[in-house]
Amino acid sequence: MKISENKSVSVTYDLTVDNEDGERELMESATRERPLTFLFGYGMMLEAFERNLEGLAVGGKFSFSLSPEEAYGVYYTENMVELPKKIFEVNGKFDYDSVKEGQTLPMMDSQGRRMMGSVLEVKPEVVVMDFNHPLAGETLHFDGEIIDVHEATPEEIAAIRNEGSCGCGCDHGDCEGGCK
């Protein structure tokens, strides 16, 4: 059976990106013990990722790269913002346990849209946040193998529809403002 609409697909892969030295750095792996499983054609994965797997069958190996435009978009420096420390207070005190460099936090913009932001720096009066996707600006390199393809069951389809997925490959379940 080949990968096409309404198929449940399981893959193993290594996801790498180019580091500053021009060498590939491993970002994520899906193994036989913990494969990536998704329903093809339901918008769970990046469109370009699915396009590269379409038509492959169990045992098929893949190796492809996605440009930033095909993946999580270009990196926008204007998505780095300084926010007043006051908005990170709990009971009148700054939340040093949650708001620290390297932390990713759920935030809300002035229109009420939820988004994830990474803390770059905590300064005396402000917190510097980055609202780009962590892989924005990166070319993604995938190398892997198809380990299962089967017709999606009604239970698998129902589970996906009830999961709250935004359908664009992001992992926070809210894409009212669109995924990038």
In the predicted model, what is the mean pLDDT of residues 156-162? 84
Q: Is 55 left (phi over 0), alpha (psi -120 to 50) or beta?
A: left
Domain limits for position 100:
77-130
Element (H, E) at 155: helix 154-162
178 inside domain: no
Evaluate if residue 179 carries a pLDDT over 60: no
Residue 175 lies in a domain: no
88-105: per-residue pLDDT in tens? 999 999 999 999 999 999
Q: Is 103 within the bounds of a domain?
A: yes
- What is the structure's pLDDT at 163? 59
Structure pTM? 0.76
Residue 22, pLDDT score? 87
> Is 170 within a domain?
no
Residue with token string 């500053």: 20
